[in-house]
Structure 1
Amino acid sequence: MMAGLLFTQYYSTLGKLKLLRNNTALRVLTTTQRQHSTNDGAGIEYLHKSVVPTMHYQKSLPRLPVPKLEDTIQRYLAAQIPLLNDEQYSNTEKVAHDFQNGIGKQLHEELVTLDKNNKQTSYISAPWFDMYLSARESVVLNFNPFMSFNPDPKLEYNNQLLRATNMVCSAVRFMKTLRAGLLEPEVFHLNPAKSDTDSFKKLIRWVPSSISWFGAYMVNAYPLDMSQYFRLFNSTRIPKYNRDKLFTDEKGHHLLVIRRGNLYVFDALDRDGNLINPAEIQAHLKYILADPTPAPAFPLGVLTSENRNTWAGLRQKLLDSGNGEALNLVDTALFCLCLDEEDMRDHIHISHNMLHGDGCNRWYDKSFSIILAKDGQAAINFEHSWGDGVAVLRFQNEVFKDTTEKPLVGPGSPPASVDSASAVKQLEFKLNAELEAGISKAKENFHAAVSKLTIDAMEFKKGGKVQLKKNKLSPDAIAQLAFQMGFLRQYGQTVATYESCSTAAFKHGRTETIRPASIHTKSCVKAFIQQPGQHTVEQLKGLLNECSKYHSQLTKEAAMGQGFDRHLFAMRYLANSKGIALPSLYLDSAYATINHNILSTSTLTSPAVSLGGFAPVVPDGFGVGYGVHDEWIGCNVSSYPSRNVHEFLKCVHKSLEDIFTVLDGKPIH
């Protein structure tokens, strides 16, 4: 349904406005900082001890604005121009203005009133949660994305057992740091020389939470919403008929580990809530990796890949069959660790394995899973209903930093001499014929779905961020333009394109959409592809500049909550909830077309992450994960059979070649 749409909710802002840059940026790693030390004052229990409490700014965050109705309609129509012919646009323009002057005005006023009466949250938060949790499609391919870790720079630390142990320890340390209020708040520093300093932090910590945001604002620092972080741990999406529920129980001290489709739990925290000895965690994981228990004929995890109503029914049957205690251990676990038995061949293999795997060695409903292949390749696959990527990326960055700079076990560290056989509990489930049939059917459905997915990757090595910035062009705008060019080369048309932008600068902000297909990209694409000899190099540079300026404007508007998609979505949700007949704007075929996002795109660059990926959000679409690096541009793209992803990437590569040829002052051929 919306995997790319939902995956991109944070990442597009990174690398454009840099609005949501992690304020604890990862430094270049050295091979000398391997052994854990307590010199930073954090000790073994915490990653660090922030001077400013984690949630210090939360109370005073500004509220997400409801855009003016006339602005929303104007932006909506501007985004429709490149997608419609003159007759279609004329009709849509009339429908949109009728909405603005009629029922839309009423819905907007009611939305504003509702927002004023709910100052503790944002106008989009409840409808957005409802959209996720009411969706009945499988979370696999439709919602859950993945982000793979870069390898540890010190090769011997990429051993599966070592890396799993260190990642579990760092994950628990992150959780403890967060819950103790010692995790550095997420802040974007426009002037870090003033705001990202010890002296400022010591001052701002004494400013009352009710006004602390304004203190940060005075020195050009922008704290971000962290309300979703509490769902990171001990959390699971529980299937229910028609609408799932989110469940969190912070009392759980145990980790869920899956290997060969078998489920195990063991405590990663002691009775006092302290991290158990890392050598014990290593011993328990070694025990699980050596367990000769064969893969079960009916692996329970595959049920989490089912249609949500189907899974809800089967889960109730599991409960009725006496599996409540085992399911509760799964649901309350800190998080899920998946230990796979394959080595990864290449990036494509990594993408398929981390995005969906075989369906049996996963529990897709956990808030997140750390997946570790046999060769130590690691990734996070996360369930998306509980929140956006802000918390997950921060978690991934911190875990990578901690495991590579301060690993708690190393190649010479022996596992503890403990009785893992009694400490590790393998979960057993009572299955009847109906449940076994349900698991078999879920396997069939899973394999039918993932067998249709193709993933391919491309690296453009002839230029990147440095050259684009020298030419005063937005790197993200040019990448998006290349996708527009690539699609037109391949299919001869401009289509609905989605790029999401976080609105975490606001209390309970979620996302807003950037609409990269514009009249400017359409003009530029036409000049480059359909009229290659009719423009001078300078004219083509001018068109690139117009695309860049307009895309930057759209990005800024989206980050400030001034797009049109969420506003229209919230008014539609309000009409539905009040039993009002759906206004004609939402019945217009142009509205359906612009929300059928054939190009769903997401950008991500982080020192911790090697690549990210997701499936297309519509059957005839592309799921485009990309990164613009200093000297190169990379894409990781997925498609179903109705689109040719290999050809698309060739067309994108050719488009980038043409753009950089022009930037070099040469004509294109």
Structure 2
Amino acid sequence: MWGLLTRMTFKVGMEKGSGLVRPVSATKLVGRYLAHQEGLPGLPVPALQQTCDRYLAVLEPIVETEKLNLTRELVTDFQKAGGVGERLQKSLEKRACGAENWLSDWWVQTAYLDYRLPVVIHSSPGVVLPRLEFSDKRGQLRHAAKMIAGVLDFKTLIDNETLPVEHLGRRPLCMNQYYQLLSSCRVPGLHRDSVVNHAKSSTPSTHITVAHNFQFFTLDVYNSDGTPLSVDHLHHQLEQICNSSPQTNKEPVGILTSQHRNVWGKVYLDLIKDQTNKESVQAIQRSIFTLCLDSMSPHASGEMYQSRAAQQMLHGGGSHLNSGNRWFDKTLQFILGEDGMCGLIYEHAPAEGPPIVALIDHVIEYTRKSDMAHSPTVPLPVPHRLCFNITPDIKRDIEQAKHDLNTMVQDLDLAVLVFKHFGKNIPKFFKMSPDAFIQIGLQLAYYRLYQKSCSTYESASLRMFRLGRTDTIRSASVDSSNFTKAFDDPGKKNTEKVALLERAIKAHRSYTDMAIQGQAIDRHLLGLKLQALEDQVSIPEIFTDPSYAVAMNFKISTSQVPAKSDCVMCFGPVVPDGYAVCYNPKDQHINLAVSSFNTCPETDTARMVQAVEKALLDMRTLLESTPKAKL
């Protein structure tokens, strides 16, 4: 179950006071990154009774009374003096004393590397960027060259350790994830994957991978003196790649990376038995990042275009379109279509969303610079085509991967809503957190569709702490449940509904603050459960209790990913009968991506999108029509 949560990106933007993450100027100092990291506090282990009490509070709106009474008995027994909970707590506190971060290794292993469903849809998020103003190969390659140069410019900040430190309020944040983004790749295993990172190796990577027409090339992006190639030179090299890779019947080897991890792990071992194949795979793994030059996608306009673009970023559209033009294990894959469709997909194990978004914002700003003067013509090494020897067995594996991916693509119901009625401006006018306002809107939308509350996940940043990743903001609360039940009740006055909304917003803000301080319940409960496994004791009953299964069954999985650019992130649901919702709130509008599975008869993306839009509008109308709310 914990692996199902990995597609969530954590929230960096907290609207309270000066809580927004903001960069501050940094001076280039030798060892600055290490000194900064050592100055960060370690992740705390919350008090056992605190977590138990908050766990019961979380269950109240989503678990039936009879089952909850049984759970209360189990929790009381779990936390009693001298009991199993207290013993596990002491072991966990001991672990925390001897580790940089008591959770991080466990989390990466449990949530990512042990996770066996395909990374496509089930784990890796996609990002849709604004459509670009070109519609031919020349425009595609020119912009691609600028994007490469923009990434290399950002890489210079990382390599020189001059990346501005981000802050939450006055608290500096862990910057470790930025140093995991480039020159890294996931490697499949038979039962557990691994991640390789060549950024800090003795021979750091100097090339990127370019995918075009299902063929892969390595492109050296640095001159012999260590300076990056100019945009002109990069453009010239990309032209060579495209001229060398016409549409053919080449086998789409990259589609193998979309398979179930155990299947791909076995195929991977067969693939790299051949030395040529092994060298080609290693070249992709070592590369700084991958650039996917896609063919034209089916025509779409308006919001249908946004939804089509989201599908292209998340899975490539299927084997008949661009899914074979990917290496899904690669940490960063920038995607640029010949029709101006633009974005990326990233493998989640090394990093969360905010560092990705920061890189994207930097690249977009870089590409907006006017073109430099033409560079002098100099001899450049010819980009190297990566060759694969395809045996009959590997060919059968590719055909099976095509079939399985197409099944996944057909099952995913993904839509983008550009909510144009208002943005952050309306909640702020009523002195409410925009994030909390949207989250309560999601609760109202779900309640209207299903007449009940459900376990809801919103990711929160733990980057105040060294090597911090995420914890869970639980958006479904007693207060949100009281509000959603009352909203459409004609017997309730508007002033009462506004009061309930204010309490729900306050409860969400309180849980958010608690989560980013390392005091939420989910990672602590995970730690206690894993500690039991490590101590080789029986799993406590609270983890086999049906209420725990309900709490972990996130039928709404969400993430706020604020960005300077007008982009939206998207990902697949974490449970078969659930929804995934990612949103980027701008001042005057909100970009939302919603997904569910077609095979589930209970979910419907279009209905959910309509319900979310109506909920947000109705909440605004309630506030505007209630005199007290205008003050």
Task: Tell whether the structures are fold-level matches, with TM greater than 0.5.
Answer: yes
2:314 to 330, 355, 358: 355
Is the 2:88–2:531 contact (alpha carbons within 8 Å) kept by the matching residues of 1? yes
| Cα separation, 1, equivalents of 2:37 and 2:501 | 40
Is the 1:253–1:270 contact (alpha carbons within 8 Å) kept by the matching residues of 2? no
Q: Which residue of 2 aligns with 1:326?
A: 280
1:588 to 545, 549, 562: 545
Can you list the C-alpha shifts for 1:58-86, whole angstroms capped at 9, x where unaligned? 11111111100111111111110000121
Is the 1:145–1:382 contact (alpha carbons within 8 Å) kept by the matching residues of 2? yes
Find out whether 1:432 has 2:423 as its counterpart.
no
Q: Give the AA of the match of 2:72.
A: E
Is the 2:12–2:20 contact (alpha carbons within 8 Å) kept by the matching residues of 1? no
Question: Within 5 Å, which residues of 2 pair with 1:215-230?
Answer: 221-230=170-179
Unaligned stretches of 5+ residues in structure 1: 26-47, 191-220
The 1:479/1:99 distance shift into structure 2, 3 A limit, reads same
- Secondary structure in 1 matching 2:557: strand
Can you list the C-alpha shifts for 1:77-110, whole angstroms capped at 9, x where unaligned? 1110000121111111111121112211111110
1:159 to 128, 131, 139: 139
Q: How many angstroms does 1:156 deviate by? A: 11
Is the 1:326–1:427 contact (alpha carbons within 8 Å) kept by the matching residues of 2? yes
- Secondary structure in 2 matching 1:601: strand
Q: How many angstroms does 1:629 deviate by? A: 2.8
Q: Which residue of 1 aligns with 2:9?
A: 9
Q: Give the AA of the match of 1:298.
A: E
Q: Which residue of 2 aligns with 1:316?
A: 269
Find out whether 1:59 has 2:23 as its counterpart.
no
Q: Which residue of 2 aligns with 1:556?
A: 513
Q: Give the AA of the match of 1:366.
A: K
1:282 to 235, 260, 275: 235
Q: Which residue of 1 aligns with 2:163?
A: 183
Q: How many angstroms does 1:577 deviate by? A: 2.4
Q: How many angstroms does 1:464 deviate by? A: 3.2
Q: Give the AA of the match of 1:282.
A: H
Q: How many angstroms does 1:602 deviate by? A: 1.1
Q: Give the AA of the match of 2:536.
A: G
The 1:368/1:22 distance shift into structure 2, 3 A limit, reads farther
Find out whether 1:247 has 2:196 as its counterpart.
yes
Question: Within 5 Å, which residues of 2 pair with 1:518-557?
Answer: 518-529=477-488, 531=489, 533-557=490-514
Q: How many angstroms does 1:396 deviate by? A: 1.4
- Secondary structure in 2 matching 1:371: strand
Q: Which residue of 2 aligns with 1:123?
A: 102
Find out whether 1:388 has 2:352 as its counterpart.
yes
Can you list the C-alpha shifts for 1:353-386, whole angstroms capped at 9, x where unaligned? 0011032010111111111111333212100111
- Secondary structure in 2 matching 1:159: helix
| Cα separation, 2, equivalents of 1:228 and 1:465 | 28
Segment of structure 1 superposing worse, 53-62 or 492-501? 53-62
Q: Which residue of 1 aligns with 2:128?
A: 148
- Secondary structure in 1 matching 2:236: helix
Q: Give the AA of the match of 2:262.
A: N
| Cα separation, 2, equivalents of 1:154 and 1:360 | 23
Q: How many angstroms does 1:176 deviate by? A: 2.0
Unaligned stretches of 5+ residues in structure 2: none
1:78 to 57, 61, 70: 57
| Cα separation, 1, equivalents of 2:230 and 2:13 | 39
The 1:401/1:450 distance shift into structure 2, 3 A limit, reads same
Q: Give the AA of the match of 1:664.
A: E
Is the 2:114–2:192 contact (alpha carbons within 8 Å) kept by the matching residues of 1? yes
Find out whether 1:106 has 2:100 as its counterpart.
no
Is the 1:321–1:431 contact (alpha carbons within 8 Å) kept by the matching residues of 2? no
Q: Which residue of 1 aligns with 2:458?
A: 499
Q: CA RMSD in A?
A: 2.5
Q: Which residue of 1 aligns with 2:523?
A: 566
The 1:403/1:184 distance shift into structure 2, 3 A limit, reads same
Q: How many angstroms does 1:151 deviate by? A: 4.8
- Secondary structure in 2 matching 1:258: strand
| Cα separation, 1, equivalents of 2:40 and 2:138 | 41
What is the TM-score with the length of structure 2 in the denominator? 0.91
Q: How many angstroms does 1:438 deviate by? A: 0.8
| Cα separation, 2, equivalents of 1:243 and 1:387 | 18
Can you list the C-alpha shifts for 1:24-51, whole angstroms capped at 9, x where unaligned? 69xxxxxxxxxxxxxxxxxxxxxx9757
| Cα separation, 2, equivalents of 1:18 and 1:3 | 33
| Cα separation, 2, equivalents of 1:620 and 1:114 | 36
What is the TM-score with the length of structure 1 in the denominator? 0.86
| Cα separation, 2, equivalents of 1:316 and 1:565 | 36
The 1:49/1:436 distance shift into structure 2, 3 A limit, reads farther
Q: Which residue of 2 aligns with 1:258?
A: 211
| Cα separation, 2, equivalents of 1:308 and 1:381 | 18
Q: Count how many residue pairs are aligned between Structure 1 and Structure 2.
A: 605
| Cα separation, 1, equivalents of 2:307 and 2:392 | 37
Q: Give the AA of the match of 1:349.
A: R
The 1:547/1:157 distance shift into structure 2, 3 A limit, reads farther
Q: Give the AA of the match of 2:504.
A: C
| Cα separation, 2, equivalents of 1:561 and 1:401 | 34
| Cα separation, 2, equivalents of 1:523 and 1:574 | 36
